[in-house]
Amino acid sequence: MNKIKLITLQSAKELGKKVEKHLKEKSIKLEESRFSNGEGKVTIKGNIKGEDIYLLADIGNYGLTYKLHEYLNHYSPDEHYEDIKRTISALSGASEKVTVIMPLLYESRQHKRKAKESSDCAIALQELIHLGVDKIITFDCHDPNISNAIPNTPFENIYPTDTILKEVKKEKLKDILVISPDLGASTRARYFAEKLQTNVGVFYKRRDLTKVINGKNPIIEHTYLGPSVKDKDIIVVDDMIASGSSMLEVGELLKKQGARKIIFIATFSLFTEGIEKFEENYKNHTFDKLYTTNLSFIENKYQKDWLEIVDCSKDIALAIKNSHNAK
């Protein structure tokens, strides 16, 4: 059987080191460089001939920077995605099999079309397959149905639910109720509820369909549907926090309805507008803790008492081993 060869892009460097320890396998050395006009280049330094390659990248790592003319530029998901493609092209077909691991799937929020919108996630997946990728592994995909874009290629969507719940259970919660912040996350919330053997509730987001702000219709109000939250410990579950305003508004409404303790869970916490709102709401007792994962970049300065970052590197290593042994 071919050996597992892990290639970790700079975007996932810290996560990759932890995956290496579980695999007991060092990553192949990779040199990523940029020309002064912003164009990139990738050079593979190790031997990959005839081996199975697992390529790990974090398209959400905005902490990386490079010099663009006289400006300091932060990496965007687009640039990370291009580096994934560069790495695949650098393999030059020498490897036996190529698996791309993107815990945060590129363009996953643009997973379907409305009217004359772009089909970004579908196009990206098809492009990777065209370049020679044999399998895609991702985590808690915004919409798993995006796999229909590549029907003949294995697409593995892993939920880190058990890993997160293992840490959440240390809170010693009682009279638990799992809440979905919107209808789209209801299936995920139900899965958590089944694991905890408890009930589930959901919020309905009423939006102003006449306006579009930052690519979305603004929320007019949240309407709660489900069992009473009074004197219960609440777990609010979603796949992703962007600005976090919607999650925090749900927390405020739950507190007003008499919830005792509120725990937020989100696989990816992007904090696109910083954490000031979370700090303020935590001090005002709107929520008690936010559990998230290290599957995408979180700045060191965001290490707070209310933020619990769950290590999911073992989940990635297990996914690699299972995929490799399934051949």
pLDDT (tens digit per residue) in 32-61:
999 889 899 999 988 888 889 999 999 999
Q: Sorting pLDDT into bands at 50, 70 and 90, what band is 209? A: low
Question: Which pLDDT tens digit goes with each residue over 189-199?
Answer: 899 999 999 99
Give one word for 107, left, alpha or beta, with left for phi > 0 and alpha for psi -120 to 50. left
pLDDT above 90 for 294: yes
Q: Which structural domains are found in the chain, ordered by start? A: 4-159+313-325 (3.40.50.2020), 161-310 (3.40.50.2020)
Alpha-carbon span 310 to 249, nearest angstrom: 24
Does the pLDDT at position 208 exceed 80?
A: no
CA 65 to chain centre: 21
Residue (of 129, 139, 113, 155) closest to 12 by Cα position: 139
Binning pLDDT at 50, 70 and 90, where does residue 215 land? low
Q: Which residues pair with 262 in a beta bridge?
A: 234
253 alpha-carbon distance from chain centroid: 26
pLDDT of 186 strictly over 90: no
Least confident residue range of 8-17, 109-118, 209-218: 209-218
The residue whose two tokens read 């303020």 is 280
For residue range 130-148, list pLDDT tens digits in order. Answer: 999 999 999 999 888 899 9
CA distance 237 to 181: 7
pLDDT confidence tier of residue 232, bands split at 50, 70 and 90:
very high
Of the pLDDT bands very low, low, confident and very high (cuts 50, 70, 90), residue 166 is: very high
Please tell me the predicted confidence (pLDDT) of residue 217: 66
In this prediction the pTM is 0.91
Q: How many CA atoms lie less than 13 Å away from 137 in the CB half-sphere?
A: 23
Amino acid in the structure at residue 23: L
Measured distance CA(136)–CA(150) in Å, rounded = 10
d(CA 114, CA 122): 14
Q: Are 155 and 176 in contact (CB under 8 A)?
A: no
Rg over CA atoms, the chain = 21
Mean pLDDT of 172-181: 92
Instruction: Dump pLDDT digits (tens) for 236-249.
Output: 999 999 999 889 99
Q: How far apart are CA 229 and CA 162, in angstroms?
A: 24
Distances (CA, A) of 63 to 100, 124, 196, 312, 313: 21, 23, 36, 20, 20
> Which of 91-95, 149-153, 209-213 is the most confident on average?
149-153
pLDDT at 85 over 90: yes
For residue 50, the model assigns a pLDDT of 81
Strand 155-158's sheet: what is its strand order? 4-8, 52-56, 97-102, 135-139, 155-158
Distance CA(156)–CA(154), nearest Å, equals 6
pLDDT score of 128: 97
Instruction: Return the SS3 of 176.
Output: strand
- Hey, what are 249's tokens? 């508004």
Cβ(44)–Cβ(90) below 8 Å: yes
